[in-house]
Chains A and B, each alone.
Chain A
Amino acid sequence: MKNFLRSLLLLSLATAPLALRAENLAITGDTIYTMSGTALRHGVVLVRDGKIEAIGAADTVKIPAGYRVLQAAVVTPGLIDAHATVGLSGLLNQPQDQDMWEKSAPIQPELRAIDAYNAKDPLVAWVRSFGVTTVNTGHAPTALISGQTMIVKTLGRETDEDVVNPAAMTSITLGANGLNAADGSPGSASKSPGTRAKAVALLRAELIKAQEYAHKRDGKDEAKRPGRDLRLETILRGLDGTQPFLVTVNRQQDIVAALRLAKEFKLKLILDGCADAPLVLNEIKASGFPVIVHPTMQRTYGDMENLSVETAGKLHAAGIPVALQSSYESYVPKTRVVLLEAAVAAANGLGFEPALASITLDAAKLLGIADRTGSLEIGKDADLALYDGDPFEYTSHCTGTIINGQVFADGPH
C-alpha cells in the first residue's frame, strides 16, 4: 500500500504543471480570435495583474518594458467546457477517484461538486494542456438528480482558490441514464425510478415538496417553520432560477418531458445532451432554453443512438444558443477534450467561428460568467489559449494556456 501511495505521489509530481505566478504578459498572435469582434491579424494582448489590459493591432499597442512576450500563430480566449466531470471522475477509474456518481439514492441535489472536486487530478492538467481554462464540472448524468455542478478554473491549485461559481447548476437526468433499475451496479440502493413515467412523477413530487417547504418556511408563525433542508433548498434555487437545473435529455420524448416540466413549474432550464434535438428543433427553439450539446464523438449507444455530428450545427442554425461539452465517460477516454469535440462539430455544419464560440463566449454566456471570461476584452480575466495553427486541426498544437495571467506551457499538446 505504501508503495502504491508513493507511486501515486510520484505520478502527481511528474504531471504537476510548471505554473508561474501571474506576470505581466504581451501575447502576440498572427491571428487573434477575440470573440467580441472580428479576428485581429497581427495583434497583441497585454496582460497585467491577471487581467487583460489592452488588445489591438500590433502597430497600435505598444508593449511596455518588462512584459514577457509570448508568440503564437493563433490566439483564442481560454476554452470553456460547459459540462464536464473532470476532477470528480478521476483518471484511474478506481473506486477512490470516482466521485461523480453517488448510488445510494436517485435524488440527491444536496451533493456539491465543490466537496468532491480534486484540482490535482491529472485529467484537469490534461484538458488544460489543450487550452481549456474553465470547466463547469460536477456530478455525472447518471441519476435522476445527481448533484450540483461548480464552475472552476483549471489552475489545479486548492479547489476553493480556483472556483468561479461554487454552485452553478443542479443536474437532472431523464431517460435511460436517470433510471436506477437500469443500473444494476452494486451499491444502487434504490430500484426506483425504473421507468420514464416514474422518474417524472418523482421529479414532480420533489418540486412540489420544495414549493410547500418554501411556503411553510415563509409562514408568519415562526414555530411552524420547518428546519433547514439542504435538499429542498437546492431544489428551490432551481425553481427560482438562481441555480438553474441542467437537464440531461437525449431521446425526443425526454426532451419534450423536460419542456413540459418547465412549463408546469415555470422553470428556466439548461438542456443538456439532446441527441434527438433535430426531431424537436421547433419545441426547443420556442422554449428559449440553451443547449449544451453532447460530445460530438460520443458513442452511439442507448439513448445516444440517434446522435449526429451535425446536431450542434442544426441547433445553431435554428438560432438556439449552443455550447459544447466533454460530458461523462465511464470507461475510456476518461475525459473527452472539448476542443477536439468542437473540431468535429466545426467540420460538420457548425463552422469555424460558431464552433469556437461554443467553447468560449457562447459557453461563458450560458454559464453566466461572460463578465469574467469567454472573450478577449479589456478588464476580463487573462484566460487565453495559444496554438501553432488552426486550433481544430488534428495536427495543430496548443503551445500554451494562460489562466488569470498564469502561463502553463507543459510542451505542445
Chain B
Amino acid sequence: MSYRPLFGMALWLGLALGLGAQEKPQVFTGAQIIPIAGEPIAHGVLIVQGGKILAVGAVGKVTLPAGAEIHDVTGKVLMPGLIDSHSHVGSGSGGDGSGPIQPDARVLDSLDVRDSSIQKARAGGITSVNVMPGSGHLISGQTLYLKLRAARTIDDLLIKLPDGTNAGGLKMANGTNSIKAAPFPGTRAKSAALVREQYIKAQEYRDKIARAKGDPDKMPPRDLGLEELVEVLDGKRIVQNHTHRHDDILTVLRLSKEFGFKVVLHHVTEGWKVADEIAAAHVACSVIMIDSPGGKMETRDLDWRTPAILEKAGVLVGFHTDDPICDSRRFLRSAGLAVRAGMTRKGALEGMTIANAKILGLDGRTGSLEAGKDADFILLSADPLSVYTHVEQTWVEGQKVFDLTNPQDHLYAVGGVGAGESRRAQLCCFTSAWDLIMSANEGNQ
C-alpha cells in the first residue's frame, strides 16, 4: 500500500495545477457552436474564465483576452452541457414502505457520488441533473438538482440557491405506481384525496406560522414534511410529478390549480391526448423516449410523437433519461428520436438544455451559452442528433470532468470490465495494475 501517499500527492498536485489553469481564460476556437441562445455559429469561439462564460461569438468577431489558453477545436461541435430533468444516477432513495406521503425524505441523505452511473452521465454530456426518488409514492421525497462537477462528496455537487439552501424539487406520482396495499392508496380517487388532505394540512400549518408572527409560544411544532410542502405552496420548490395516463395528467393539473403550486409533468406518456389542456395550464413537460410502448397498462399508448405534439401546442418540453430506464450515455438519442417523430430540431435541442434548465428553475445560470452563465458545455465529434456522434469532452463550470481520450473515461463511455463498478474491495493482498487505476480514479471522483 506504499503507493497510496504517492497517489495522494499526485492528486493534490494535479488539483493545484488545475486551479492555477482555471485563473487563465480558456478559449475554445473553431468549433461549430450551438449556443441555444441564438443561431448556430459555423466557426465559433467560446471564452470561459473562473467557471463562467466570458464571451461567445464567431471567430474573428470576438476579442481574445491576453494570456488565454487556446484550445483548437476545429471540426467539433460545441454546445451547452446537457440537463437531465429526471434521473436516478447515484443510486439515491426517497421514502420507504411506511406510507404514501413522505416529503421529509431527502435524496441528499442517500446519494453515492462515487456510483459509476454519475461518471456515465458525464460521459453522456450531462452537466446538470435532477436526481429524483422513485415513483412508488404519492410524495416520495425531495429531489436534488446537481452539477456534475468533479466530486468527492455530495457537497461538491450541490447547487446553492441565494438563500443558502440546496436547489431541488418535490417528487410526486400518480397512477398505478403508487397504488398498492395499505397504507398506500388503492385507487386513483383515493390517491388524489390523500394528496389534497396533505396540502390542506400544509396550508393550515403555514397559516399557523403566519399567525404566530414569530412568537415561539404560538408556533406549531416543527414538521419536516409540512415544511417542504409549504415551500411548494410558496413556489420555492417545484413539484416534479410522475404521470402517464391522460386522466392522471388532468388530475395533476387540477391539484396544481387548487393549491397554486408550480408543477412539471414527467413521462407524460399520454400527453399527446391532452396537449391543449397542458398548454392552457402553462405547465411544462419532461418527456422520456422509450424504445417501445407498453410495459404496464398505463403506458400502452406511448407515442414518439408526444414531444412534437406538445411543442406544437405551445408546451415547454424537456427530456429525461429516468436513468437507469434509459442510459445517460445515450441521452442525446432522446432528441434524435423526437425529431424523427416530428419535433423541430430547435425544440429538441432546447429540450436537452434550456427547456430543462427552465423546468428546474436553473435557466439563470445554465442551459445555454451566454456571457455570464456557468461554463457548462460539451464537445461533440459531429452533429448532436447523429447516432455516429460521440461526446468527446464534458466541462462543468470551466472544469473538464470527462475526456474520451482518457482511458478510464473511455471505459465509462463504452462499458467493459470495471465500468459498472462503483467501488472495488480494498483487499490488502490482492492488488493489480487495475486496482491502481481504480484507486487513482476514486481519488479523482
The chain A residues found within 8 Å of chain B, CB to CB, are 11, 90-94, 122-123, 126-127, 276, 278-279, 297, 299-301, 305-311, 329, 331-337, 340, 343-344, 346-348, 392-397
B340, A92: Cβ atoms under 8 Å? no
B291 within 8 A of partner (CB): yes
B414, A394: Cβ atoms under 8 Å? no
Given contacts A344-B330, A394-B386, whether A336 and B415 have CB atoms under 8 Å apart is: no
Instruction: Tell me which of B13-21, B60-68, B128-136, B296-304 binds A.
Output: B296-304
- Closest Cβ of chain B: how far from A76's Cβ, in Å? 16
B291, A306: Cβ atoms under 8 Å? no
In the complex, residue of chain A having the shortest beta-carbon distance to the beta carbon of B388: A347
How far, in angstroms, from A392 to B333 measured CA to CA in the complex?
12
In the complex, residue of chain A having the shortest beta-carbon distance to the beta carbon of B411: A308
A343, B295: Cβ atoms under 8 Å? no
How far, in angstroms, from A91 to B299 measured CA to CA in the complex?
9
Residues from chain A with Cβ under 8 Å of B386 in the complex: 393-395
Q: Could you say which of A93, A308, A332 has the most chain B C-beta atoms within 10 Å of its C-beta?
A: A332
B387, A122: Cβ atoms under 8 Å? no
Main secondary structure of the interface of A (DSSP, over half): loop
A308, B327: Cβ atoms under 8 Å? no
B292, A346: Cβ atoms under 8 Å? no
Q: Which of chain B's residues 310-347 have a Cβ closer than 8 Å to chain A?
A: 324-325, 327, 330, 333, 336-337, 339-340
B291, A300: Cβ atoms under 8 Å? no
Query: Which of A122, A309, A343 is the one whose CB lies under 8 Å from B415?
Result: A309
Query: Which of B294, B327, B417, B420 is the one whose CB lies under 8 Å from A297?
Result: B327
Q: Could you say which of B336, B388, B419, B421 has the most chain A C-beta atoms within 10 Å of its C-beta?
A: B388
| Per-residue A-contact encoding for B269-308, CB less than 8 Å = 1, 0 else | 0000000000000000000001111111101100000000
Given contacts A332-B295, A333-B291, list 8 more A-B pairs with CB under 8 A: A127-B292, A297-B327, A297-B330, A309-B415, A310-B414, A332-B296, A335-B292, A336-B292
B416 within 8 A of partner (CB): yes
How far, in angstroms, from A311 to B418 measured CA to CA in the complex?
15
| Per-residue A-contact encoding for B379-421, CB less than 8 Å = 1, 0 else | 0000001111110000000000000000000000011111111
Given contacts A91-B293, A332-B294, A333-B290, whether A300 and B419 have CB atoms under 8 Å apart is: yes
A122, B291: Cβ atoms under 8 Å? no
How far, in angstroms, from A344 to B418 measured CA to CA in the complex?
21
- Closest Cβ of chain A: how far from B433's Cβ, in Å? 16
B415, A306: Cβ atoms under 8 Å? yes
The chain B residues found within 8 Å of chain A, CB to CB, are 290-297, 299-300, 324-325, 327, 330, 333, 336-337, 339-340, 385-390, 414-421
How far, in angstroms, from A93 to B294 measured CA to CA in the complex?
7
A394, B387: Cβ atoms under 8 Å? yes
Residues from chain B with Cβ under 8 Å of A94 in the complex: 297
How far, in angstroms, from A126 to B301 measured CA to CA in the complex?
12
How far, in angstroms, from A91 to B386 measured CA to CA in the complex?
29
Query: Which of B292, B297, B420 is the one whose CB lies under 8 Å from A123?
Result: B292
How far, in angstroms, from A332 to B325 measured CA to CA in the complex?
7
Residues from chain A with Cβ under 8 Å of B419 in the complex: 300, 306, 308
Residues from chain B with Cβ under 8 Å of A347 in the complex: 387-390
Residues from chain A with Cβ under 8 Å of B291 in the complex: 297, 333, 335-337, 340
Residues from chain B with Cβ under 8 Å of A297 in the complex: 291, 327, 330
How far, in angstroms, from A94 to B415 measured CA to CA in the complex?
33
B416, A310: Cβ atoms under 8 Å? yes
B295, A307: Cβ atoms under 8 Å? no
Main secondary structure of the interface of B (DSSP, over half): loop
Residues from chain B with Cβ under 8 Å of A276 in the complex: 417
A337, B416: Cβ atoms under 8 Å? no
B414, A309: Cβ atoms under 8 Å? yes
Q: Enumerate 26 A-B pairs (CB-CB under 8 Å) in ascending A order.
A: A90-B294, A92-B297, A92-B300, A122-B293, A279-B417, A297-B330, A300-B415, A300-B420, A306-B415, A306-B418, A306-B420, A308-B416, A310-B414, A310-B415, A329-B295, A332-B294, A333-B290, A333-B292, A333-B294, A334-B294, A336-B291, A347-B387, A394-B340, A394-B385, A395-B340, A396-B340
Residues from chain A with Cβ under 8 Å of B299 in the complex: 332
A123, B387: Cβ atoms under 8 Å? no
Q: Could you say which of B291, B299, B327, B418 has the most chain A C-beta atoms within 10 Å of its C-beta?
A: B291
Q: Could you say which of A297, A334, A346 has the most chain B C-beta atoms within 10 Å of its C-beta?
A: A334
Query: Which of A126, A279, A394 is the one whose CB lies under 8 Å from B292?
Result: A126
In the complex, residue of chain A having the shortest beta-carbon distance to the beta carbon of B330: A297
A122, B417: Cβ atoms under 8 Å? no
- Closest Cβ of chain B: how far from A377's Cβ, in Å? 28
- Closest Cβ of chain A: how far from B423's Cβ, in Å? 13
How far, in angstroms, from A277 to B29 measured CA to CA in the complex?
41
Q: Could you say which of B292, B297, B389 has the most chain A C-beta atoms within 10 Å of its C-beta?
A: B292
In the complex, residue of chain B having the shortest beta-carbon distance to the beta carbon of A412: B340
B296, A93: Cβ atoms under 8 Å? yes
How far, in angstroms, from A329 to B326 measured CA to CA in the complex?
13
B416, A11: Cβ atoms under 8 Å? no
Given contacts A297-B327, A347-B388, whether A394 and B415 have CB atoms under 8 Å apart is: no
Given contacts A306-B417, A336-B291, whether A397 and B296 have CB atoms under 8 Å apart is: no
- Closest Cβ of chain B: how far from A131's Cβ, in Å? 14
A92, B385: Cβ atoms under 8 Å? no
Residues from chain A with Cβ under 8 Å of B327 in the complex: 297, 299-300
- Closest Cβ of chain A: how far from B333's Cβ, in Å? 6
- Closest Cβ of chain A: how far from B331's Cβ, in Å? 12
Residues from chain A with Cβ under 8 Å of B387 in the complex: 343-344, 346-347, 392-394
Residues from chain B with Cβ under 8 Å of A123 in the complex: 292, 294
In the complex, residue of chain B having the shortest beta-carbon distance to the beta carbon of A299: B324
B417, A333: Cβ atoms under 8 Å? no
B337, A394: Cβ atoms under 8 Å? yes
Query: Which of A299, A300, A332, A343 is the one whose CB lies under 8 Å from B290?
Result: A332
Residues from chain A with Cβ under 8 Å of B296 in the complex: 92-93, 332
- Closest Cβ of chain B: how far from A176's Cβ, in Å? 14
Residues from chain A with Cβ under 8 Å of B385 in the complex: 394-395
Residues from chain B with Cβ under 8 Å of A335 in the complex: 291-292
How far, in angstroms, from A249 to B342 measured CA to CA in the complex?
40
Q: Could you say which of A297, A393, A395 has the most chain B C-beta atoms within 10 Å of its C-beta?
A: A395
- Closest Cβ of chain A: how far from B107's Cβ, in Å? 21
Residues from chain A with Cβ under 8 Å of B421 in the complex: 305
How far, in angstroms, from A276 to B292 measured CA to CA in the complex?
27
- Closest Cβ of chain A: how far from B137's Cβ, in Å? 18
- Closest Cβ of chain A: how far from B332's Cβ, in Å? 8
Given contacts A300-B420, A306-B417, A306-B419, whether A395 and B292 have CB atoms under 8 Å apart is: no
